[in-house]
Amino acid sequence: MTAETAPIPEAEPEWRAELDALRGSIDNIDAALIHLLAERFKFTQQVGRLKAQFALPPADPAREAQQIARLRTLAERAHLDPAFAEKFLAFIVQEVIRHHEAIARN
């Protein structure tokens, strides 16, 4: 049996309690992130409707570049990998643009 396949020894009760508490905190943060993203998308939907009303393009590369720079700085200050923050923002922006395009079609 290798170390990779060996069963995990029975956890100490203190170890289990600490692990569960940490995971509970992570779960709470995940829930907060979901709620924050939902709130963010409510505003981006409003932006999408405004852009559609005035025939503005769904994407705004200048705004995106500003946001990337701003979030990279925030990430550095928070000791979060700026590259990760940029990838996260890119994922969100891609979804926002998809929503804006759908709004413009309707």
Q: Give the other-Cβ count within 10 Å of 22's Cβ.
A: 10
pTM of the predicted model as reported, rounded to 2 decimal places: 0.79
Instruction: Tell me the per-residue pLDDT of 37-87, one tens digit each, with 9 for 90 and over.
Output: 999 999 999 999 999 999 999 999 999 999 999 999 999 999 999 999 999
Averaged confidence pLDDT in the chain: 93
pLDDT given at position 9: 62
Query: Domains, the chain, ranges and CATH?
Result: 13-105 (1.20.59.10)
Residues 103/49, Cβ–Cβ less than 8 Å: yes
Helices (H) and strands (E) in the chain, counts: 3, 0
List the one residue out of 97, 74, 99, 98 whose CA is nearest residue 86. Answer: 74
**pLDDT score of 25 more than 80:** yes
Residues 19/11, Cβ–Cβ less than 8 Å: yes
pLDDT given at position 105: 93
